[in-house]
Amino acid sequence: GLQKQVERGELLQPVIFIVLVLCSVLLYFKVSLMDPGFVKSEEDAAKSEEQSVVIPQVSSNIKMRRCGYCMVKQPMRAKHCQLCQHCVRRYDHHCPWIENCVGEKNHPLFIVYLSVQLAVLLWGGHIAWSGLYFKQSWDWLLHNGFLLLSFFLIVVFTIVVLLLLISHLYLISCNTTTWEFMSYHRISYLRHSELENPFDQGVILNLWRFFC
């Protein structure tokens, strides 16, 4: 019965898997609904400008400019998102998966979400694969078509999430954002900088400051 399964530890793995799935769903809603770091007032912009002064490699001639859309003063590394209709501090990108920007406040949680999602996909892929017993017959294909399709979709999503996670971790280790990486020559504080990446302070310190 159920008691014997608990004693043998047979229910532990399914319970852990369900907990991981629930964590993934909760993280999805948290990241998609939370404030990614909207620039809301002149005070917030001034505070962010003060924080950027500690980076001496950035030219002091670069002044904060006023956003032509929402008319707030943009702190360094902020960008206006046309879809969110707000300027976002340390803007990374607008993610269609979560229908929200990834910025200063939710970027670390976005990485946690991707990591949990990857664990769920890998585990789900293992479960789907273990349920397949290949036979060269049309009846077998008809009865296992849904399982094969599920496995194929899991593999595709796993590759996408894995590549996304790897690319984000690489950019974080360099202390740069997706927007800065893709639009380097259009960004004034990078274009006029003496260094290729004025924010890079070494891999360990970059990771520490991002996550801690």
Per annotation, catalytic residue among 84, 95, 101, 212:
95
**Structure-token pair, residue 76:** 């360094």
95 is catalytic: yes
For residue 122, give the nearest of 24, 8, 6, 31 by alpha carbon.
Answer: 24
Query: In whole angstroms, what is the distance from residue 17 CA to residue 74 CA?
Result: 43
Q: Which residues contact 58 (CB under 8 A, 6 or more apart)?
A: 52, 76, 189, 193, 198, 199
Report how far apart, in Å, the C-alpha atoms of 211 and of each of 96, 109, 176, 205 are.
Answer: 23, 9, 14, 10
Length in residues, the chain = 212
Query: Catalytic residue positions?
Result: 95
